[in-house]
Chains A and B, each alone.
Chain A
């Protein structure tokens, strides 16, 4: 089972890299969907094992909710938002992709060394899964600042959230049930609100390029 979790953690990391290499908003959303499917798979595996061990079904319920919210609903919502706003193909990032991807690599190295030095986490295999999921968080942050479109930033936020969710799964095999549910609901509402904001930005600024949004300073 640890083997499968290891492999999934690496696949999650790879999906974050693929996201960083994407150029179009449509493919951001698809990659995010893929990543969420991996998260759901991971939740499912942990859910089944916890069910087999002591008959708890809460992780399995969370898995179902993850599928419903992250794999199906949020990508659908983002696609709908994306279809409605004015679309122009522009250069979307401030560094070119290979450099961004190399920075991602450095961040994986960074998180590896920073966690290798932290005692307490460094016990057994959990450590390495945490390194991978923490790297996903860092890559999500980099993605957020490297993309100029509002939807790109939402996807970045969601990737950070995915990374954190997975870190929670790896580190603790699930937070308390009600906390997990609360987190997922919060994300859902946050994405809906952000989607509405994107419409408003599009309406007021004529594009969803967040570079235009810089009136307020100092």
Chain B
């Protein structure tokens, strides 16, 4: 029982608290590489705090979907966070955290987000929704193929057993299967978290924005929930990536609370490295034209597919 509570606290509380920090780090890296001081790393916490205090303005023409969406999106993000363990040292008591469930829980949130964007009837909302639908449809095959390939090797489709299996793999990144899946997932994360080659999180230029266009009508607490949900989703994906392909828990020889603490610290270090990587990618690439995104998605799919084939060839 205590394990369950601990898991619950770490997976929700810790992830929710850490999620805005990742955004802060990425923004700081971008600012530093452009020789600006930039906002403080904790800026997003202040923003969220401020937004939570404000009331939100809701358009008269919108329906209940618009009002309920922020809660659904936030709930799906937290549910996703519950599925992807940040450390394998705490055993979840239930065992339902399936990769397919993970993908479709997030899809549910996205579905409502698109509905809400259409609901207000604003042109940007519709545009953003259609683009988001396109990108997610393009990226979905590759995310499923990647995760299921890893699942096939681990002989389970649940996230926790996959991760515990990955702890036993030596140096996954020079193994051909994992190398391919890693590259594929990297592209997936960039697309899913609305990062630069696919979408620009800092723009409000109507020609280019995708994710932001769907949030335009939101304000106050609803906006805060949406942004926090986006940050959580991003951290969930990063967790998935780093915990699958840079396993660290086998390095810690001890058990108990201390081990968990060390594990979490190492986890944060890995997340920091991943944030650094994403920041560098963002600085060094330009946003793709919308019609070039299929090529990127195809590349991601191809990588995951090659990984899948290599699994047949090389085995786990």
What residues of chain A have their CB less than 8 Å away from a CB belonging to chain B?
3-4, 6-7, 9-11, 13-14, 17-18, 21, 97-98, 101-102, 104-105, 108-109, 112, 125, 127-128, 131-132
What's the Cα separation between A4 and B310 when bound, in Å?
14
Contact A10 B171 (CB under 8 A): no
- Closest CB-CB distance, B152 to chain A, in whole Å? 16
Which residues from chain B contact A104 at a C-beta distance below 8 Å?
A: 302
Of all chain A residues, the one with the shortest Cβ separation from B294 is A98
Which residues from chain B contact A97 at a C-beta distance below 8 Å?
A: 295, 298
Known: A21-B299, A98-B294, A105-B306. 4 other contacts (CB 8 A): A10-B179, A14-B303, A98-B295, A112-B309
Contact A112 B174 (CB under 8 A): no
Of all chain B residues, the one with the shortest Cβ separation from A99 is B298
Identify which of B183, B294, B295, B313 gathers the most chain A CB atoms within 10 Å of its CB: B313
Of all chain B residues, the one with the shortest Cβ separation from A10 is B176
Which residues from chain B contact A101 at a C-beta distance below 8 Å?
A: 298-299, 302
Known: A4-B174, A21-B298. A128 touches B314 (CB 8 A): yes
Known: A21-B299, A112-B313, A125-B314. A3 touches B306 (CB 8 A): no
Contact A17 B171 (CB under 8 A): no
Which residues from chain B contact A125 at a C-beta distance below 8 Å?
A: 314
Contact B179 A7 (CB under 8 A): yes
Which residues from chain B contact A131 at a C-beta distance below 8 Å?
A: 313
Contact A105 B180 (CB under 8 A): no
Contact A128 B174 (CB under 8 A): no
Determine whether B287 belongs to the interface, using a CB cutoff of 8 Å to chain A. Answer: no
Which residues of B262-314 have CB atoms within 8 Å of chain A's CB atoms?
294-295, 298-299, 302-303, 305-306, 309-310, 312-314
- Closest CB-CB distance, B184 to chain A, in whole Å? 10
Contact among B294, B302, B309, B313 with A17 in the assembled complex (CB-CB below 8 Å): B302
Determine whether B175 belongs to the interface, using a CB cutoff of 8 Å to chain A. Answer: yes
Known: A97-B295, A98-B294, A101-B298. A108 touches B174 (CB 8 A): no
Which residues from chain A contact B313 at a C-beta distance below 8 Å?
A: 112, 127-128, 131-132
Identify which of A4, A6, A10, A112 gathers the most chain B CB atoms within 10 Å of its CB: A10
Which residues from chain B contact A109 at a C-beta distance below 8 Å?
A: 309
Contact B309 A108 (CB under 8 A): yes
What's the Cα separation between A13 and B308 when bound, in Å?
14
What's the Cα separation between A155 and B211 when bound, in Å?
40
Which residues from chain A contact B176 at a C-beta distance below 8 Å?
A: 6-7, 9-10, 128
Which residues from chain A contact B180 at a C-beta distance below 8 Å?
A: 10, 14
| Across the A-B interface, the 5 shortest Cβ-Cβ residue pairs | A128-B313, A10-B176, A6-B176, A7-B174, A98-B298
Contact B309 A3 (CB under 8 A): no
Of all chain A residues, the one with the shortest Cβ separation from B313 is A128
Contact among B171, B298, B305, B312 with A3 in the assembled complex (CB-CB below 8 Å): B171
What's the Cα separation between A131 and B309 when bound, in Å?
10
B194-238 vs A: 1/0 string, CB under 8 Å? 000000000000000000000000000000000000000000000
Known: A3-B174, A3-B175. A10 touches B310 (CB 8 A): yes
